[in-house]
């Protein structure tokens, strides 16, 4: 649970050094999203909430937009919404955005989108049953929800940083897969696929590795400085680094070959794919 990222998300727009962990995660997610888009013939997608874990916010659906799939993003922070809108304009990709303060209401007609998606974001929803009902109402072909792997060693280590008094806007109970599956079923959607995802050869520390090491050793971390050679997916999205995806996939041997009993405590996330009954 990347509590520090919630506080300093802005830095990634000026210094997009996401690190190896988030860069790998994005490529793995890209492949999952594109497979779902191909399987269900997706032509429109809604990501809400669009703010989840670490790194540059609001770019999860860039690979779909590059396939001419229309993308809509919702966020509860107007400043972040403005920054991600500017980034999509820089990438020369069309985007529709909306400000949604609590995600209890999705202001679209029924069946407006082929695909609904969010990644590690449901703990920003104020009322999960109301959100799920709305999500099911406005989507018509598939809903893909990714949550942190609550059984993973990394999550169990990071959750110690959470307290309701320090983070009253977070609702960790909303990322429980059993609750999500139950609510989706009550709204007429069935689970057709679930699996662990984002299983690289390093643990889920949820933050910059230097910051994590300083914290582990009880040291005061240095003030962050701009990174001369940032590790970021943005050059790849701009067509400037075609070797980026193969480089990340070279690290995917656990992702491809590790048994589920191992992924259960090592993978960083779990995905749930639903379609209407």
Three-state SS at 276: strand
Mean pLDDT of the chain: 90
Homologous superfamily, domain 3-276: Vaccinia Virus protein VP39 (3.40.50.150)
Q: What are the structure tokens assigned to 190, written together?
A: 């069935």
- Average pLDDT score over residue span 215-224: 59
pLDDT digits (tens, 9 = 90+) for 97-141: 999 999 999 999 999 999 999 999 999 999 999 999 999 999 999
CA distance 77 to 229: 29
CA distance 163 to 168: 8
Q: What is the pLDDT of residue 133?
A: 98
Which residue reads 């070279």 in tokens?
250
| Neighbouring C-beta atoms of residue 277, cutoff 10 Å | 9
Sign of the dihedral defined by the CA atoms of residues 157, 196, 172, 114, in that order? positive
Q: What is the pLDDT of residue 5?
A: 63
Identify whether the C-beta of residue 23 lies closer than 8 Å to the C-beta of residue 71. Answer: no
CA distance 82 to 103: 18
In the sheet that 189-197 helps form, which strands lie side by side, from edge to edge?
Answer: 96-99, 70-75, 44-47, 113-119, 139-148, 269-276, 189-197
Residue from 148, 178, 143, 183 nearest 25 by CA: 148
The confidence band for 164, taking pLDDT boundaries of 50, 70 and 90, is: confident
Cβ-proximal residues to 21 (8 Å cutoff; 6+ apart), any chain: 54, 200, 202, 204, 205, 209
Whether pLDDT at 181 is above 90? yes
Helix (H) / strand (E) containing 236: helix 234-237
Sign of the dihedral defined by the CA atoms of residues 76, 147, 44, 114, in that order? negative
Question: Among residues of the chain, what percentage have pLDDT more than 90?
Answer: 71
pTM here is 0.91
The confidence band for 3, taking pLDDT boundaries of 50, 70 and 90, is: low
Candidate from 68-72, 99-103, 191-195, 216-220 with smallest mean pLDDT: 216-220
- Average pLDDT score over residue span 194-216: 74
Identify whether the C-beta of residue 206 lies closer than 8 Å to the C-beta of residue 6. Answer: no
Query: Which letter, b or e, does each residue of 256-268 get, where b requires 16 or more Cβ atoms within 10 Å of its Cβ?
Result: eebeeeebeebbb
The confidence band for 4, taking pLDDT boundaries of 50, 70 and 90, is: very low
Sequence spans of domains, the chain: 3-276
- Average pLDDT score over residue span 182-206: 93
Candidate from 40-44, 156-160, 179-183, 185-189 with smallest mean pLDDT: 156-160
């Amino acid at each position: 649970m990347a509590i520090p990222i919630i506080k300093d998300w802005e830095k990634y727009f000026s210094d997009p050094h996401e690190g190896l962990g988030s860069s790998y995660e994005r490529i793995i997610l890209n492949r999952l999203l594109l497979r779902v888009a191909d399987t269900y013939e997706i032509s429109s997608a809604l990501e809400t909430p669009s703010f989840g874990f670490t790194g540059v916010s609001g770019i999860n659906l860039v690979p779909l937009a590059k396939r001419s799939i229309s993308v809509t993003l919702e966020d509860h922070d107007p400043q972040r919404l403005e920054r991600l809108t500017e980034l999509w304009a820089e990438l020369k990709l069309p985007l529709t955005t909306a400000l949604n303060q609590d995600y209890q209401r999705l202001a679209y007609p029924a069946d407006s989108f082929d695909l609904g998606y969010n990644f590690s974001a449901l703990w920003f929803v104020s009322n999960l049953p109301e959100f799920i009902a709305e999500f099911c109402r406005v989507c018509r072909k598939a809903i893909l929800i990714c949550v942190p792997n609550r059984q993973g060693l990394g999550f169990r280590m990071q959750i110690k940083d959470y307290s309701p008094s320090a983070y009253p806007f977070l609702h960790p109970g909303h990322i429980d897969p059993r609750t999500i599956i139950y609510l989706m079923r009550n709204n007429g959607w069935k689970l057709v696929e679930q699996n662990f995802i984002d299983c690289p050869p390093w643990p889920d520390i949820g933050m910059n590795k230097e910051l994590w090491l300083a914290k582990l050793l009880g040291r005061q971390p240095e003030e962050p400085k701009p990174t001369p050679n940032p590790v970021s997916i943005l050059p790849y999205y701009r067509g400037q680094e075609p070797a980026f995806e193969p480089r990340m996939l070279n690290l995917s041997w656990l992702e491809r070959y590790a048994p589920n009993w191992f992924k259960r405590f090592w993978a960083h996330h779990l995905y749930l794919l639903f379609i209407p009954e």
